[in-house]
Amino acid sequence: MLLKSEKQNVVDDFLVPEHIGIIMDGNGRWAKKRLLPRKFGHREGAKTFKKIALAGKSMGVKFMTFYAFSTENWKRPDDEVEAIMRLFEDYLDDVSSFEKENIRLIFIGDRSALSDVLQNKMKHAEEISRNFDSMTVILAVNYGGRSEICMSVRAIAEKVKNNELDINDIDEKLIEENLYTADIIPPVDLIIRPSGEMRLSNFLIWQSAYAEYYFTDILWPDFKEDDLRDAVKDFSIRNRRFGGI
C-alpha cells in the first residue's frame, strides 16, 4: 500500500498523486480512423487536455504536466506544426478561464525557437496566473528531457569555470536546481501514456526516476475523466518503496 504523504489527497479511498505527467499521444491515429487530417486529432486532443486538467483539479491533483510538443516534433510537416502552435495560442488567448479555475500555468522547454507572439502569450499567462493556487498546469513545449539535463550541466559548468563553484559541490540537488522544474515543481509521481505506446519519449527523464507508469490503449482524444480515475486508482495500489524495502 502507498504511504500517504502530507501533500497527497485521498479521493474515494484512494490516494491521489501530487504530480501527474501525461504524454498526450494518439491524436494522429484518432484522426486517421475518421479519415480526417491529423490536425483535427490535435484539436480534439486540446479539448481533452482542458477536460482532463479540470478533472485532475477536482480530484485534488496539485501538479499536472502535459507533454504538448517535444524537441523532436519539429520533424513533422510544417502545416501540422503550425496547427499545434495555433492551438497553444488559442488556449492562451482564453486567459479568463485560468482566472475562473484559479489554475497556475507554467511552461517548460526551450521557448527561443517559438514565435515571438507565442512567447509573449506564454509569459503573459504565467504572469497573470502566478498566484493562482488550486492547481498548477505545466505545459511542456519544445521540451526534451535530455536537452534539459544538458542545460543544467552547462549552467553548472559555467559556474565552475568562473570559480563560483567547486567541482565537488556538484550533486543531484544542484542538477535539479538548474532544471526547468526547479523550485516549484515536485518530482512526478505518475506518468500516464495513452494510445498503446509504452515508452517515455524523452519526457521528464530526470524527474521520473521513481515515477509509476500507467499505459492504456485509449487514444488521447478519447481519454475521459473515468480513465484518469482508473489510472489514479491503479497508482493507489502500487507499492512504492523508493529503493527501500
Q: Which residues have a catalytic role annotated?
A: 25, 73
How far apart are the C-alpha atoms of 113 and 91, rounded to whole Å? 19
Residue 27 interacting with ligand FPP (CB under 6 A): yes
Piece of the chain touching ligand FPP by CB under 6 A; list 24-32, 97-105, 156-164, 199-207: 24-32
Question: Contact, 116 vs 83, CB < 8 A?
Answer: no
Spell out, one character per residue from 122 to 151, where the chain touches ligand FPP: x when CB under 6 A holds, - when not: -----------------x------------
Residue 193 interacting with ligand FPP (CB under 6 A): no
C-alpha cell at 180: 526547468
Residue 236 interacting with ligand FPP (CB under 6 A): no
Q: How many residues bind ligand FPP (CB under 6 A)?
A: 19
In the complex, residue closest to ligand FPP by CB? 28
C-alpha cell at 101: 479555475
In the block, residue with C-alpha cell 480530484: 59
Closest distance of CB 210 from ligand FPP, Å: 25
- Closer Cβ to ligand FPP, 68 or 188, answer by number: 68
Which one-letter DSSP state was computed for residue 4? P
Closest distance of CB 174 from ligand FPP, Å: 31
Q: For residue 101, count other CB atoms closer than 10 A to its CB.
A: 17
Q: Which residues in 91-110 contact ligand FPP (CB under 6 A)?
A: 91
C-alpha cell at 16: 491521489
Closest distance of CB 33 from ligand FPP, Å: 9
- Closer Cβ to ligand FPP, 24 or 232, answer by number: 24
Residue 26 interacting with ligand FPP (CB under 6 A): yes
C-alpha 14: how far from its chain's center? 22
The contacts of residue 7 (CB under 8 Å, 6+ apart) are 18, 62, 186
The alpha helices in the chain, defined as continuous H runs, are: 27-33, 38-59, 78-93, 95-101, 116-129, 145-161, 172-177, 225-236
- Closer Cβ to ligand FPP, 15 or 114, answer by number: 114
How far apart are the C-alpha atoms of 53 and 67, rounded to whole Å? 13
Question: Contact, 52 vs 223, CB < 8 A?
Answer: yes
How far apart are the C-alpha atoms of 8 and 62, rounded to whole Å? 9
Piece of the chain touching ligand FPP by CB under 6 A; list 65-73, 117-125, 143-151, 180-188: 65-73
Closest distance of CB 24 from ligand FPP, Å: 4
β-pair type (14-16, 135-143)? unpaired
Interacting residues with ligand FPP (CB under 6 A): 24-29, 42, 45-46, 49, 66, 68, 73, 84, 87-88, 91, 139, 195
